[in-house]
Amino acid sequence: MRYSLMKKALIGRPLKTRELGEQKLSKLKALAILSSDALSSVAYGPEQVLIVLSTIGLVAFWYSIPIGVGVLVLLTALILSYRQIIHAYPRGGGAYIVSRSNLGENAGLIAGGSLLVDYILTVAVSVSAGTDALTSAFPELHQHNVIIACLLVVLITILNLRGVTESASVLAYPVYLFVVALLILSAVGLWKITTGQVPADLHPTIGTAVPGISLFLLLRAFSSGCSALTGVEAVSNAVPNFKEPAAKNAANTLVMMGVILAILFSGIMFLAYWFGIVPKAEETVVSQIASAVFGRNFMYYFIQGATALILVLAANTGFSAFPLLAVNLATDKYIPRMFLIRGDRLGYSNGIVTLGIMSIILIVAFSGQTEQLIPLYAVGVFIPFTLSQSGMIVKWVNEKPSGWAYKLSVNLVGALISLTVVIIFFTTKFTQVWPVLIFLPIIIWMFHRIKNHYEATGEQLRIKPGEEALQFKGNVVIVPVAGITKVVENSLNYAQLVGDTVIAVYVAFDRESEKQMEEKWKKWKPNIRLVTLQSQYRSLMRPLSRFIDLAAEKANGNDRTLTVLIPQFITKKRWQDILHNQSSLRLRVYLLYQKNVIVTTVPYRFKK
Amino acid sequence: MRYSLMKKALIGRPLKTRELGEQKLSKLKALAILSSDALSSVAYGPEQVLIVLSTIGLVAFWYSIPIGVGVLVLLTALILSYRQIIHAYPRGGGAYIVSRSNLGENAGLIAGGSLLVDYILTVAVSVSAGTDALTSAFPELHQHNVIIACLLVVLITILNLRGVTESASVLAYPVYLFVVALLILSAVGLWKITTGQVPADLHPTIGTAVPGISLFLLLRAFSSGCSALTGVEAVSNAVPNFKEPAAKNAANTLVMMGVILAILFSGIMFLAYWFGIVPKAEETVVSQIASAVFGRNFMYYFIQGATALILVLAANTGFSAFPLLAVNLATDKYIPRMFLIRGDRLGYSNGIVTLGIMSIILIVAFSGQTEQLIPLYAVGVFIPFTLSQSGMIVKWVNEKPSGWAYKLSVNLVGALISLTVVIIFFTTKFTQVWPVLIFLPIIIWMFHRIKNHYEATGEQLRIKPGEEALQFKGNVVIVPVAGITKVVENSLNYAQLVGDTVIAVYVAFDRESEKQMEEKWKKWKPNIRLVTLQSQYRSLMRPLSRFIDLAAEKANGNDRTLTVLIPQFITKKRWQDILHNQSSLRLRVYLLYQKNVIVTTVPYRFKK
């Protein structure tokens, strides 16, 4: 009872199933809840590009502009492609569903498995990064990094268990704040540039010849920049969470998110180039830009704070997407059925809790230093990107709807760029992304094992026409007795009611008690057969189990069932349980799991 | 299975009940197993006397001789008294039984409760002291004191679980070693004194006037010396463990132990006086005597080693006595019945394990510094001493057997001295012994509560003549169903076999599935009633429990029982359990504990 009260306080009152509609997302809320991951990537994506270019020299920095354009092209391709997916799969079309229905089971499982792991990585990476930002501001908290990160995950988990709308209300403001902060930064930066307040010689001219530059390096820089695109698939997974018309609202939200992402990314990319920002280990690029535009005044801290906050909240995207993907996989029987169950507040609580626990494990295992997981995480995103867009190509080719040539080309461009990014990741960052090659096969093998089990189960449970179920002709009831008491009398009455043959069994630890019992029994219940068993080792289980084996064999031979009746004391107070031998519980589990007999528990409730 | 193998390796093969006789103790083994506590007290008893006398000055040390004589008188009284008890209570006559049968229930419980706590203290104190002795020899181990002490307790626990004889074999040698070592020490010391190798002016002459001495102080010193007598009651508790004739063998063993204890105590006491030993914080009195007699040669280390060893083994006395006392208390229903059960090796394993755990808790709680518990421990011994000897006085007065005047006087002297010791403890060491006044009442209150519960239970279970048990006229069986499968078919067949009314219950989460189920059911089992329940909160439990309440009320009104049939999947492999909703288990516990209906579990075993 106390547990349920605590649960209520943390999570809120249970909701009825028909209140489901009320929990659906409006476009503006959806934008907040589903885009924090994608938008927060702007905080580190541009920096990743500059880090790669800086290995050549400052003169190479002008390449960030064409690379940025490349990323924007990919972004456009992804947004257009996912818009098509949303309309084609209005009941939720993540990479898993698109790949599975167009490319086959294993392609779907690769996409689904990648994303499942990826959402866990999202949470761990984002929360750790946000915690780092927080503890950079308050260095005395730095030693408690891991605990703070774990508490943040717990907090986000609870918010999500409360339900999708309420968590959106809380989480919407920081996202808007971040967008506003970066828009102001870009606008003020541009205004300063156009009004000539920024020297023009801070950056190399576009087109300057760069010695030592290679296509390989440029592609590597491009792939690094692509980490700014992680998270854009979240909307397409979450279509069923939108208010009706769900598909249209989701598609519009996706475009809105794409536009905002493009503006923020372009702004940061351009300002970084124009101000000649050089990536430093101890200060982020965004922080340097803000410093250059505003100096270290209130606006600087506002931008830094909003960035830190959105990084933590990016984790929330994982919490929105993971349970929905889990529902898809569980519906297809690849993961346990429990992920299908809606909790008290209508969220898929098992998915939410699993994600929270897994990411806390990751954070603890890496002591909060999860930045090294970023490439793993990015590659885990681009594998499903590639698969889902390839799936769309197959779909267009097969179905050939009106205007399919345009649709095909959109997805083709997206698929090719995504595939290139994956290949570049594997060739240039193999030391960081190899675990994918281990974990993915294991996960897919597990998916198949689970599915096989469910299918075998279904097969065994299915009633085949013409196959007659075994009709029992009688019921043999065995009642283990420890003495002559009301409980035994009670049990025997019940046994005679439900069985045609009743056998009482008494386990004696010595000859004397055996004799005594037999004599007493003869006087008490002469019409019920008593079997006494000797136990040399003072064990109830062993002689009883041997006897039950024999009885079961005999009963089955006569087409009769065997039931063992176990009386169970129900004490009035919890502490009194220790005063009673818990052998009835042990006996029940043993008989059920080892012996396959039917077990009936007859409760005997103490009044005192 | 792996658990049982590990158990076998640690504890040995299970023994049959009739092998019990073989486990009985011979006198020599009994001496070793039951006297280590009493004999090891010699290592600190004399020192306690000198510590008190040293508060006056060295000149007072001659009082150790009359005090020692006083302790010997008390020892003689105790041995004679316990000899009488052994013969009077051949089935085991600890202070608990003697006090209870002669002085009434609460006196018995005070004695029993004191001893129960005392045996835990014995183990904790002895093992800690022994560990200190050990780590004094190897100082680099000192920081691991607590862990070493706990491991020693675990080791002794395992030895005792292996059974009484085997542990005696292992534990006998150190006791003999200790006796031999101290006998050699005393003999060589005396030889050196008589041959004039020791100066005669090391000690004050007996009878020297001592300014500032008081009876109070002398009594305090005497009571301190009485800590050397802890453990003498062990034999009388363990009479049933002896070979036949048990009482005679036990009585002889007790006398043997008394004589050895008297010799060792006198030897140490006298040598300490003659050599003018002054107690020091950093070196024990025994160590100083050994140094003075032998110098720091091999013999010195032999004596120190034997002392350290016997201190650890003194804990074993607790392990012999505690389970037997627990059996007596459990037989009288003051503590849980589980203490009556003999384990695989015929020892009372629950008592042994409980003692081990409790003493480990004490050691950890006091960080191995359990020396401060010695006065508590001593007072906890002398309370039952007093009670058992008072009990014997009452017995002699009531029964007046031949020679009862002599017997009465023996016990009277013992009782008076013991009582005096208790009073002195409470007046002079109140700050150390007050917890007794808190714990004893709590323990006795618990004893009474447990007894009350057992008696209420027995009362409720007893079949009173003339009182007819309720005869049921029929059985209503409710079968919760989740769909139309073989499991359900199987359950329904069984339900029809054992019940006259069968109701299938389906909990629907929405209207659509409710309708579907009703239609399918009508085609499948038109003759079995299906009740569908709506669950707005997606909970199985709530609607089901409401329905069962109604059904139970109706069934009881018609003198019929209500049985709920729960199908339980038994998966082939353990990991597959997670793939199935464990709602059947939760439902069973809920119905049994909250609703008091009969629950039948029908196992359905998967073949794949």
Closest-CA residue of B relative to A337 is B579
**Cα–Cα distance, A390 to A408 (Å, whole number):** 10
- Show residues of chain A in contact with B579, CB under 8 Å: 336-337, 450, 453-454
Q: Would an 8 Å CB–CB cutoff place A497 in contact with chain B?
A: yes
The residues pairing with A390 across neighbouring beta strands, listed in sequence order, are none
Q: Say whether pLDDT at A1 is over 50.
A: no
If one compares A588 and B114, the residue with the highest pLDDT of the two is B114
How many helices and strands (H and E) does chain A possess?
A: 22, 5
ipTM for this model:
0.71
| Of A157-161, A344-348, B401-405, B458-462, minimum mean pLDDT range | A344-348
State whether A474 and B460 contact (CB < 8 Å).
no
Q: Please choose, from the candidates B557, B553, B562, B560, the residue with its C-alpha nearest in 3D space to the C-alpha of residue B473.
A: B560
Q: How many CB pairs under 8 A join A and B?
A: 174
Reported as a single tens digit per residue, the pLDDT across B171-220 is 678 888 999 999 999 999 999 988 888 787 777 888 777 787 888 888 88
Cross-chain CB nearest to B570 (options A484, A494, A593): A593
Cross-chain CB nearest to A472 (options B493, B535, B601): B493
- Show residues of chain B in contact with A493, CB under 8 Å: 469-472
**Inter-CA distances, A494 with A603, A607, B552, B571, B589, Å:** 12, 20, 15, 30, 20
Alpha-carbon dihedral sign for residues A191, A194, A199, A205: positive
Average of per-residue pLDDT across A175-194: 91
Average of per-residue pLDDT across B558-579: 80
Q: What is the token pair recorded at A7?
A: 């649960």
Q: What is the token pair recorded at B456?
A: 């209420």
| Of A385-394, B138-147, B301-310, minimum mean pLDDT range | B138-147
Q: Which long-range contacts (CB under 8 A, 24 or more apart) does B57-62 make?
A: B57/B210, B57/B212, B58/B204, B58/B276, B58/B278, B59/B204, B59/B208, B59/B210, B60/B204, B60/B210, B60/B213, B61/B203, B61/B204, B61/B273, B61/B276, B62/B203, B62/B204, B62/B205, B62/B206, B62/B207, B62/B208, B62/B273
Q: Please choose, from the candidates B548, B546, B541, B471, the residue with its C-alpha nearest in 3D space to the C-alpha of residue B503.
A: B548
A379 contacts A426 by C-beta, under 8 angstroms: yes
From chain A residues 13-72, the ones with a CB under 8 A of any chain B CB are 14-18
From chain B residues 331-350, the ones with a CB under 8 A of any chain A CB are 336-338, 341-342, 344
Q: Give the closest-approach CA distance of A513 to chain B in angstroms.
A: 13
Cross-chain CB nearest to B498 (options A475, A568, A576): A475
Average of per-residue pLDDT across A232-236: 80
Q: Would an 8 Å CB–CB cutoff place B598 in contact with chain A?
A: yes
Closest-CA residue of B relative to A495 is B498
Reported as a single tens digit per residue, the pLDDT across B256-279 is 999 999 999 999 999 999 888 888
Q: Would an 8 Å CB–CB cutoff place B597 in contact with chain A?
A: yes
Reported as a single tens digit per residue, the pLDDT across A287-305 is 888 888 888 788 888 888 8
Q: What is the token pair recorded at B226?
A: 């009485």
- Show residues of chain B in contact with A163, CB under 8 Å: none
pLDDT at position B212 is 78
State whether B460 and A18 contact (CB < 8 Å).
no
- The half-sphere exposure of A529 on its side-chain side, counting CA atoms within 13 A, is 8
Give the range with max mean pLDDT: B284-293, B340-349, B354-363. Answer: B354-363
State whether B475 and A498 contact (CB < 8 Å).
yes
**Cα–Cα distance, A202 to A272 (Å, whole number):** 10
Closest-CA residue of B relative to A338 is B581
State whether B471 and A490 contact (CB < 8 Å).
no
**Mutation target vs B (from A540, A600, A607; most B CBs, 10 A cutoff):** A600
If one compares A324 and A2, the residue with the highest pLDDT of the two is A324
Residue B2's Cβ-count burial label (10 Å; 0-12, 13-18, 19+) is: exposed
Query: Distance from first CA to last CA of chain B, Å, rounded?
Result: 22
State whether B601 and A593 contact (CB < 8 Å).
no
Q: Give the closest-approach CA distance of B559 to chain A in angstroms.
A: 12
State whether B601 and A592 contact (CB < 8 Å).
yes
pLDDT at position A582 is 66
State whether A536 and B16 contact (CB < 8 Å).
yes
Cross-chain CB nearest to B457 (options A15, A494, A606): A606
Cross-chain CB nearest to B497 (options A18, A469, A475): A475
Cross-chain CB nearest to A342 (options B453, B474, B538): B538
From chain B residues 453-482, the ones with a CB under 8 A of any chain A CB are 453-454, 456-457, 460-463, 469-472, 474-475
Q: Say whether pLDDT at B165 is over 60.
A: no
Q: Give the closest-approach CA distance of B27 to chain A in angstroms.
A: 27
pLDDT at position A190 is 92
State whether A469 and B456 contact (CB < 8 Å).
no
Mean pLDDT of chain A: 84
Give the range with max mean pLDDT: A357-361, B280-284, B472-476. Answer: A357-361
- Show residues of chain A in contact with B569, CB under 8 Å: 457
Q: Would an 8 Å CB–CB cutoff place A509 in contact with chain B?
A: yes
Query: Phi/psi at A530 (nearest 5 deg)?
Result: -110, 125
Q: Which amino acid is at B603?
A: P
Report CA Rg, chain A.
33
State whether A454 and B487 contact (CB < 8 Å).
no
Reported as a single tens digit per residue, the pLDDT across B32-61 is 878 888 888 888 788 888 888 888 888 888
Query: Helix (H, G, I), strand (E, B), or coil: what is residue B297?
Result: coil
Q: What is the token pair recorded at A186?
A: 């870009």
**Cα–Cα distance, A166 to A19 (Å, whole number):** 14
Q: Would an 8 Å CB–CB cutoff place A486 in contact with chain B?
A: yes
Closest-CA residue of B relative to A564 is B600
Average of per-residue pLDDT across B371-388: 83
- Show residues of chain A in contact with B599, CB under 8 Å: 600-601, 603
Reported as a single tens digit per residue, the pLDDT across A89-104 is 887 767 888 899 899 9
State whether A453 and B336 contact (CB < 8 Å).
no
Closest-CA residue of A relative to B582 is A338
Cross-chain CB nearest to B14 (options A342, A463, A537): A537
| Of A139-153, B523-537, B565-579, minimum mean pLDDT range | B565-579
pLDDT at position B1 is 45
Question: Angle at the Cα of A170 (from A167 to A176), degrees rounded to 5?
Answer: 120
B559 contacts B594 by C-beta, under 8 angstroms: no
Write down all domains in chain A, each with its CATH number in brackets.
23-168+210-268+312-450 (1.20.1740.10), 475-605 (3.40.50.620)
From chain A residues 542-581, the ones with a CB under 8 A of any chain B CB are 561, 563, 568-570, 576, 578-581
**Mutation target vs A (from B601, B604, B605; most A CBs, 10 A cutoff):** B601
State whether A598 and B602 contact (CB < 8 Å).
yes
State whether B598 and A563 contact (CB < 8 Å).
no
Reported as a single tens digit per residue, the pLDDT across A544-578 is 888 988 888 888 888 888 999 988 877 777 677 66
